Structure 1
Amino acid sequence: MLDVRRMQVLRAVAASGSVTAAAAHLRCTPSAVSQQVAALEKEAGIELLERAGRGVRPTAAGQLLIERATIISRHVAETETALADLRAGRAGRLTIHYFASIGPTLLAPAIARIRREHPGVAVDPRLTDPRDALPDVERGDGDLAIVVGRPGAAGRPGIRLVHLLDDPYRAVLPAGHPLADREAVDLADLAGEPWVGGEPPGPCLEPIVEACAAAGFSPDFVAKSQDYATAQSFVAAGLGVTLIPRLGLSAGHPGVAVRPVHRPEPVRAIYAAVREGALAQPALGTLIDALVDAAGVD
């Protein structure tokens, strides 16, 4: 394998026209330069310099290596510049895994801030299930994932969880429901109601099931949906009642009444998950700060 540093020495000799002049330029002894060229010739298996008057000039093989050394030098310089831009947050890419209900409220303002403060960084938001995003970050397939966990949840080894907010659930009732006149609803008052499911099994459904169990009943799901908009439409049509997180109600439905829930109030905790080793990226740090700020404003 050819030694790139020796190729640069050969390049200096060719540019200077002699070993002595190259040694002066490189600030080493002529003997050291000659040894480097001799070692490179041994690696290449062919002579790289020939006598030319009182100096030397490259052979055809030497000229080939000099041209390649020039290209390598340019690529190294470009790489160093690219690394400097990456370190400073002037370039790069951030892949963000998120789930639908936090897109308008948390993610949109956070991405807008990244675009203002790090315009050279490309942002790649990917809609994923809140149950499945954390392994993507662990594997390096994402830089940050917004996930749902329990309040006070601990992270996995090598993963930092940054708490963004606790998102309380609200009771969603048909507009003409008798409980719609109340300012708040006790969860036990919904025990005998038919229920609409707006959550697939996973971390967003668990707070509902556990809160209902604490209130002394298990919800009777008569219809199920995979998204909050459809769940609200089912409620408006009179199919039942449901609980939806506050962030999932950013797009309201005119046919439903939304009320706070008490005794107990279900809550889902929302976190930003990142790899510990990725936290040195300036743009990622800005993204986390922007999500925290957006969660606080909300």
Structure 2
Amino acid sequence: MLSLREMEVLHAVLATGGMSAAARQLRISQPAVSRAVAAAEQRLRVQLFLRQGNRLEATAELEELRGSIGRIFRDIDSLKRFCGLLEHGAGRVLRIAATPSLANAFIPHAVAAVRARFSHLTIHAKIREPGPIQEAVARRDFDLGIVYHEHRSAPVSSADTVSAPVVCLMPEGHRLAALADIGPADLRGETLISFAPSSTIGTDLDRLFAEHGQRRDVAIQIGNAFMAAPFVQGRLGVALVDPFILGSPTAAGLVARPFLPRRLVTPRIVWAVDRQLTAPERCLADALHAHALRWADEHLAPIWAEGCPGLHPAATVRQKD
């Protein structure tokens, strides 16, 4: 079997037609080229070149090898180009799954940050419900998932982002918009759009209402704030939902007010247990965390300033389960 160096020399001599030219191309001495050709001939036990004046001509035996050697070095050239692009994400696929609200609020900005650094990275983004996301991440069907902290359907490693309180959404000009914050008693007589009692957030809100002697009577049950927006915009009621719709075009014409007593919702980044994150995955996780902080400062801080003076919405907790 020829060594890779011997094949490289033969390839150069075939391409240039002479040992001197091959030596210049390879940046080695002509005697080194001659020695490599002689070693190849000895290894194969055949003559590989015939001298015709100042040029070398390949023998019939070498012509039989020409195609195979050419394919090897075309593959090597492709490998070199690929290696040069590897730091930009070439050949890699990053698979993300997120709940609808979190996908709309955070994924596009985070993906933009990742693509700016890994321009050849392919990204697959899917919308799923929290439980199935964690199970799929645990099976490694997805590299990263974005879910709410409350959902723990499968063992995963995680990092929390920003904690944000539930808000009350209403149309512009609604009577509740005059209040600095909204409590259970303020919602008496209103058609309420919110999470089902069977959901984790819905269960907690029912408890908070009961502690204040009220009943959370949900007329229109929704799965996320983005589903609630059209109902509120159509003046079918007011919504008690997570705040991650704020800043989205979907929230056009809506007013948000803090809901007290406070019920925090925390998006978390999840990945398979005992799995090392790749550089693009770490970049995405950092971008998600950074954007969550910016989002909180921009969209939560103004509405909490009066209603929740003790709340710092950008406070975060990063952890690993």
After TM superposition, the score normalised by the length of structure 2 is 0.62
Distance 1:103 1:295, change over 3 A: same
| Equivalent residue letter for 1:266 | R
Do residues 25 (structure 1) and 36 (structure 2) align? yes
Q: Residue 212 of structure 1: CA displacement?
A: 1.7
The equivalent of 2:221 in structure 1 is 224
The equivalent of 1:212 in structure 2 is 206
Q: How does 1:145-164 map to 2 (within 5 A)?
A: 145-150=145-150, 156=155, 160-164=157-161
Q: 1:199, 1:58 → 2: CA distance?
A: 80
Q: Percent identity among equivalent residues?
A: 20
The equivalent of 2:68 in structure 1 is 68
Q: Residue 137 of structure 1: CA displacement?
A: 4.2
Q: How does 1:93-132 map to 2 (within 5 A)?
A: 93-103=93-103, 105-118=105-118, 120-124=119-123, 126-131=125-130, 132=132
Query: Deviations 1:254-282 (Å, cap 9, x if unpaired)?
Result: 4x65321223x22222122345656232x
Q: 1:111, 1:142 → 2: CA distance?
A: 15
| Equivalent residue letter for 2:169 | V
Query: Deviations 1:117-163 (Å, cap 9, x if unpaired)?
Result: 33x32453524024233444455554433222239x79835xx4232
Distance 1:188 1:200, change over 3 A: closer
Which of residues 274, 277, 294 in structure 1 aligns to 2:291?
294
| Equivalent residue letter for 2:155 | R
Aligned pairs, number:
267
| Equivalent residue letter for 1:222 | A
Secondary structure of 2:245's aligned partner: helix
Q: 1:294, 1:185 → 2: CA distance?
A: 27
Q: How does 1:186-265 map to 2 (within 5 A)?
A: 186-187=183-184, 190=187, 195-197=192-194, 205-216=199-210, 219-226=216-223, 228-235=225-232, 239-250=236-247, 251-252=250-251, 254=253, 257-263=255-261, 265=262
Secondary structure of 1:249's aligned partner: coil
Q: 1:227, 1:273 → 2: CA distance?
A: 20
| Equivalent residue letter for 1:71 | R
Q: Residue 75 of structure 1: CA displacement?
A: 0.8
| Equivalent residue letter for 2:207 | A
| Equivalent residue letter for 2:251 | G
Secondary structure of 1:89's aligned partner: coil
Secondary structure of 1:185's aligned partner: coil
Q: Residue 10 of structure 1: CA displacement?
A: 6.1
Does the Cα contact within 8 Å between 1:209 and 1:218 map onto a contact in 2? no
Q: 1:287, 1:51 → 2: CA distance?
A: 54
Q: Which runs of 5+ in 2 are unaligned?
A: 20-30, 52-56, 296-321
Q: Residue 77 of structure 1: CA displacement?
A: 3.5
Secondary structure of 2:267's aligned partner: strand
Secondary structure of 2:155's aligned partner: coil
- Structure number having the greater strand percentage: 1
Q: Which runs of 5+ in 1 are unaligned?
A: 39-48
Does the Cα contact within 8 Å between 1:7 and 1:69 map onto a contact in 2? no
The equivalent of 2:299 in structure 1 is none
Q: How does 1:273-288 map to 2 (within 5 A)?
A: 273-274=270-271, 277=275, 279-281=277-279, 283-288=280-285
How well do the aligned residues superpose, as a CA RMSD in angstroms? 4.4
Q: 2:259, 2:197 → 1: CA distance?
A: 21
Q: 1:127, 1:198 → 2: CA distance?
A: 22
Distance 1:219 1:69, change over 3 A: farther
My pick for the range that moved more, 75-84 or 269-278, is 269-278
